[in-house]
Amino acid sequence: MINRWLTIMLLTVTSSAVAKERIEFMVSSGEQMTFVNEFIKPEYERRYPDVTLILTNDSNLETRMAAGDYPNVYAGVFGYMVPRYAKLGRLMYLNEFDGFNQLEERIEPQFMAKHFNRNYYIPWHATTQMMIYNKDLFREAGLDPESPPKTWDAFLSAAEKINNLPARDNGANVHGAALWNDALSWGGWYWNMLSPLYYNFNEGKYQLLNRYGTHPVFDKDEASMVKFLETMKKIQQFAPLTMEQNFFSRTIGMWPQYGIAWKANLQDAAGYPMQIGKDVGIAPIPTLVEGGTHYSNLDGRALMVFKNTRKVEERSWQLIELLMEEDNHLQANMELQNLPTLGSLQSHPYFQQEDIKPFVEQLNNVVMNESSAAVSEVSSILLKYYSQSVVMEKMTPEAAVEAAAEDVKKILKR
């Protein structure tokens, strides 16, 4: 009789364990996964003991989706991912969840965007780009280290002066600037690195496609894509061909593609760590004219909920609410080197530090990553012609823009 009751109790416990829901949170591998494992998973499972939080990385997302297999919550990137998955009918309308309106009110409005008149994501954290410059090389070239170039003409002038400095003791040449040409084959990701430079040729008014994603606009005269390519071609004359010799080698004058997440690289600089303010300056990306507004891009991580049973969807939303609690949001930004999307944290002392505050201020003049589902393929086409015009000098900027626009029109007709 005792054995019988023991068997029943064991079966009950086993059934209870098996009945636990699995909520899969997909993030990029590395620091994001470590953060969620250490700070979020224990608290989430404590609050919801009926759930086990499973963490996966997004290296095989496309393969899984092709097989009809989806995570429950995904921290994708701002831009094309959200409308693409929404158009496929895979994402939940977040407006439908209790607490959405209250959470939306706590988020700064520039981080929120609707797609197809619905809210499909919550902005977990943000990032943007600025320019960093080597103050020591500025001094050596006779430039004022406290007065970085504000226009592209001034940038080119400074780059030339730095480029003319003698080689270092180890034989390394000094370059006026650096561009990440190694990443030109990476498609949409690298366009997000170049786009802030492009926006400063058209006052942030033009991206690659129109707002509906149906036609290219970068070939319009007022978009100034030709001027952008012409200027990048001139900058390339003062830059190494690849990033093998990068800014942190102390041989590069300016790098106009610096995101806050690159801050950790300062510790690995040649010889000894670089310090913002002491030997490295942070400045806005140059503009065409003195006094113009300095634009940059708005990038970041977008939390999406994939459709499932109602219970799984509710638990998925509760995970997002936990991630967006103020203490957790602050901890995430500190650990992952990103910027806050909650209004209450914009003036937090952590974000007022010398190496972070300029990025927070730049968020007032940003252009969100383009959201058309076709932009990844479109940007790959543009980068192909960018490479031929700027790096390889096989065609003029005018010809590159014309050819890229024709190729883009063809793929948009499909």
The pLDDT score that the predictor gives to residue 3 is 55
The DSSP 8-state label assigned to residue 123 in this structure reads E
Prediction pTM value: 0.89
- Residue 387 near residue 179, CB atoms below 8 Å: no
* pLDDT band at 4; cut points 50, 70, 90: low
d(CA 108, CA 116): 21
What is the structure's pLDDT at 11? 47
Q: How far apart are CA 378 and CA 383, in angstroms?
A: 9
d(CA 400, CA 149): 28
Beta-strand relationship, 73-77 and 21-27: parallel
Mean pLDDT along residues 181-208 = 93
Q: pLDDT-derived band of residue 61, with 50, 70 and 90 as boundaries? A: confident
Q: Do domains 21-128+298-368 and 129-297+372-413 have the same CATH topology?
A: yes
Between 16 and 257, name the one with better pLDDT: 257
How is the chain split into domains, by residue range? Answer: 21-128+298-368, 129-297+372-413
Position 5 pLDDT exceeds 80: no
The domain 129-297+372-413: what is its CATH number?
A: 3.40.190.10
pLDDT surpasses 80 at 1: no
Once rounded to an integer, what is the mean pLDDT over residues 83-89? 90
Q: Which CATH number fits domain 21-128+298-368: 3.40.640.10, 2.30.30.90, 3.30.70.920, 3.40.190.10?
A: 3.40.190.10
